[in-house]
C-alpha cells in the first residue's frame, strides 16, 4: 500500500520518514478499539451513577430549576454541546429545558479574567445565575482545573447539587466538591473526553424519557 507524506513545506525537515498506509490503518484500529474498551469499562463501573445523574437532572428540571455546565477547552465544548441538547432537544421533540454553558459569553469571561483572575470565571457566574435546587456540572479530564473546582465549590455554597465529570486520576480531587462524580476509568485525555460526551448523551436521553414519557 502507499504512504502519507507531510504537505509540502511542513513537517520535520530533517527526516524523510513517511507514514505508510498500513501504519495509518494500525493507528485507526488502535484508537477506535481503545475508545470502545474505555466505554465498556465505563459501562461496567459507572452504570448506576449515570442513572443517578439523570435522576438528579430530571428532578431539578421538573421543579423549574436549571443546569449549569462548565469546563475548559474540549470540556468547554462538551459543556456547550450538552447545554444545547437540553435547551433544544436530544432525540425527542419537546419543550425547552433550562441549561447554560458558562464559558459562552466572551465579554463576561474576559472581564472576570481581567478583573478577578481566570480561576474565578465559573465561580462568579455560578453566584450570579445559580439558585438553590439547580445543578452544576463541572467537567475536567484531570479533575484538577482550579476554575472548575472553584465553580463547583461556589455551587455548593449556593445550594446546588454538584456533579463532576473527570478521569481516573481526578476522582479524589473532585469528590471534595461534588455530590456525584462520574470518573471515566482511563488516564488518556481523548478517551476520557469521548466517554464524557457518551455519558452526557445517555443522561440527557434518560432525562427526556423521564420528563416527557410517551413523546
Query: CATH code at 43?
Result: 3.40.50.10490
Place of cell 479574567: 113
* % pLDDT > 90, the chain: 89
Q: Is residue 140 situated within a structural domain?
A: yes
163 forms beta bridges with 137, 180
Domain span at 192: 19-211
Q: Assess contact for 152 and 42: CB atoms under 8 A.
A: no
Confidence at residue 12, expressed as pLDDT on a 0 to 100 scale: 53
Residue 56 has pLDDT above 60, yes or no: yes
Tens digit of pLDDT for each residue in 12-31? 555 567 999 999 999 999 99
Average pLDDT over residues 56-83: 98
Q: Is residue 105 situated within a structural domain?
A: yes
Q: Is residue 13 situated within a structural domain?
A: no
The set of cell numbers assigned to 122 is 465559573
The total number of structural domains that make up the chain: 1
Confidence at residue 2, expressed as pLDDT on a 0 to 100 scale: 63
124 exposure class (CB count in 10 Å sphere: 0-12, 13-18, 19+): buried
Q: How many CB atoms lie within 10 A of CB 1?
A: 8
Average pLDDT over residues 131-154: 98
Q: What is the CA radius of gyration of the chain?
A: 20
Q: Is residue 14 situated within a structural domain?
A: no
Amino acid at each position: 500500500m502507499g504512504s502519507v507524506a507531510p504537505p509540502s513545506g511542513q513537517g520535520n525537515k530533517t527526516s524523510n520518514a513517511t507514514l505508510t498506509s498500513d501504519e495509518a490503518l494500525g493507528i485507526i484500529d488502535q484508537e477506535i478499539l481503545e475508545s470502545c474498551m474505555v466505554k465498556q469499562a465505563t459501562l461496567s463501573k459507572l452504570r448506576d451513577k449515570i442513572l443517578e445523574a439523570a435522576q438528579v437532572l430530571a428532578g431539578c428540571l421538573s421543579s423549574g430549576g436549571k443546569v449549569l455546565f462548565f469546563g475548559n477547552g474540549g470540556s468547554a465544548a462538551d459543556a456547550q454541546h450538552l447545554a444545547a441538547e437540553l435547551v433544544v432537544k436530544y432525540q425527542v421533540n419537546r419543550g425547552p429545558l433550562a441549561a447554560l454553558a458558562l464559558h459562552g459569553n466572551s465579554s463576561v469571561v474576559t472581564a472576570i479574567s481581567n478583573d478577578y483572575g481566570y480561576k474565578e470565571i465559573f465561580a462568579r457566574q455560578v453566584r450570579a445565575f445559580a439558585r438553590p435546587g439547580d445543578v452544576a456540572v463541572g467537567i475536567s479530564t484531570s479533575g484538577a482545573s482550579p476554575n472548575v473546582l472553584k465553580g463547583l465549590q461556589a455551587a455548593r455554597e449556593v445550594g446546588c447539587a454538584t456533579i463532576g465529570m473527570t478521569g481516573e486520576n481526578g476522582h479524589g480531587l473532585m469528590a471534595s466538591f461534588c455530590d456525584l462524580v462520574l470518573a471515566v476509568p482511563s488516564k488518556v485525555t481523548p478517551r476520557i473526553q469521548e466517554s464524557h460526551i457518551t455519558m452526557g448523551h445517555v443522561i440527557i436521553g434518560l432525562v427526556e424519557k423521564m420528563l416527557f414519557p410517551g413523546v
